Amino acid sequence: MLLMYNACWQCILGSGSSKGLMLSLKDIVPAALNNIDTKFILLEKGRATLEGQNKTCLALVADETAAIHFQFWGDECDAFEPSDIIHLANGIFSYHRNNLILRAGKRGKVEKVGEFTMAFVETPNMSEIRWIPDPNNSKKYIQEAVISPHSRIFPPMP
């Protein structure tokens, strides 16, 4: 067990499946990898819609550093309520039907780990940033511009 933790500390942004390696939302970058391990609080859920056979639900989630759009899938849609603190393991942040969203995907997992006791900010919103491929490393994305400081889908409460 100890060995596993040590190994993980060394691969800091690697396949973070171990606890204690939470990524801050502000450090999340779009990629085609299921490797995001993070914790956030659910601020607002949109209406559930059908994507083919499956129910999906777009939501605004946030931590102390940033907000982001999260997509719940299937029975996740009804399992979570605003103010739930959620741990995402092996999640993915990528373009999905033209939206830049964070989700568990097939290999990831979301779990409720608490409630209420998490501070958050609603800006920046990582889903409201325009990303371009890094000129020095075409496999990576870098921020090009802020499209909107806040979520345009879930505007901040007045």
Q: Which residues lie near other proteins (CB under 8 A)? A: 43, 75-76, 79-80, 82-83, 87, 110-113, 116-117, 119, 121, 157-158
Residue with tokens 């989700």: 103
Distance in Å, CB of 112 to other proteins, minimum: 5
Measured from the CB atom, the residue of 110 and 129 that comes closer to other proteins is 110
CB 76 within 8 A of CB 59: no
CB 123 within 8 A of CB 149: yes
Distance in Å, CB of 121 to other proteins, minimum: 8
Distance in Å, CB of 79 to other proteins, minimum: 4
In the chain, DSSP assigns E strands to: 36-51, 54-62, 67-73, 84-96, 99-103, 109-115, 129-134, 137-146
Cα–Cα distance list, 79 to 57, 84, 111, 112, 127 (Å): 11, 10, 9, 9, 23
Measured from the CB atom, the residue of 82 and 133 that comes closer to other proteins is 82
Measured from the CB atom, the residue of 23 and 60 that comes closer to other proteins is 60
Measured from the CB atom, the residue of 39 and 100 that comes closer to other proteins is 39
Distance in Å, CB of 122 to other proteins, minimum: 8
Nearest residue to 71 via CA among 81, 58, 84, 60: 58
